[in-house]
Amino acid sequence: MNERNGKQKRAIRAQARTGKLSHAWLILGGSPGGREELAGFLAAALLCGGAEPPCGACSHCVKLAKGIHPDLIRVEKLPDRASYVVDQARELARDAYIMPNEAARKVYYIPAADEMNVQAQNAMLKLLEEPPARSVFILAAENAAALLDTVRSRCTELYAEGDEELGDADKYALALFDSFRRGAPADVALAAWQLEKAKLEREELDGVLEALSVLIAQRLREGVAPGEQKRLFAALDETKKQLQRRRSNNTGAGHMAGALAVGLNRLLEQS
């Protein structure tokens, strides 16, 4: 099974080990999901308090996985605007000088940096040129041409992978996640049935559950409405419970997929 963004993640880990991670990053290419995943990994490498960042186990990594780390600040467009506006960049600039809450630094993530207008990018540029000591910026963009050269030149660029890079486990996890998110029990059952028929090895089944946890955690990090948040937390618990059960009982595809579909659909009924 290929891990999406595996090469990029190894490069980030290697740099994290030296303790010299860049203060400004630009993630380009791939798909929205690929960029999002890489940004999440990078943020974890920056905020992790463990020996091998991201360790996945320290309090920072756990909070990041749940989408509740106070030092990861996701900056979205205002709901009624077509682009990020200069006031948002100015507010970000003020905030970036305030000390972090829990981690050694704060991470600002701008998922659609190509939707910053020119004034906003210029305000951002000052920050990238003289960054506050404890702040790191992760920009992601679909269209690199919409970014000022001066902004690009200040950032370490990373190229994310797309959905075609997904291994089998990720594909099944994505089908399950999408149907759960849409609140479609019949599609959840169908995705589980296809998983059951796929004759995956047991290790790959664990990979599906792990990938599903990652997708749910990513969605939580995007800042969702309270109702959806509650449902996603429950789905995350359910997925982890199934992973533990599969490992301890060495369950095969049929049992695992069936139990997962029943568990997820119960959550959909409740909400």
Residues that bind Zn ion (CB under 5 A): 48, 50, 55, 58, 61
Cβ burial 73-99 (10 Å sphere, 16+ → b, else e) = bbbebeeeeebbbbebbbebbeebeee
Tokens 């950032």 appear where?
155
Assigned token pair, 59: 């309090």
Cβ proximity to Zn ion, 71 vs 161, nearer residue: 71
Q: Which residue is nearest to Zn ion (CB)?
A: 48
Cβ proximity to Zn ion, 52 vs 87, nearer residue: 52
Cβ proximity to Zn ion, 91 vs 102, nearer residue: 102
Q: Which residues contact 183 (CB under 8 A, 6 or more apart)?
A: 268, 271
The CB-of-64 to Zn ion minimum distance in angstroms stands at 8
The CB-of-233 to Zn ion minimum distance in angstroms stands at 20
What string of H, E and C letters represents the secondary structure of 212-245?
HHHHHHHHHHCCCCHHHHHHHHHHHHHHHHHHHH
The CB-of-56 to Zn ion minimum distance in angstroms stands at 6
The CB-of-51 to Zn ion minimum distance in angstroms stands at 9
Distance in angstroms (rounded) separating the CA atoms of residues 166 and 61? 24
Cβ proximity to Zn ion, 39 vs 92, nearer residue: 39
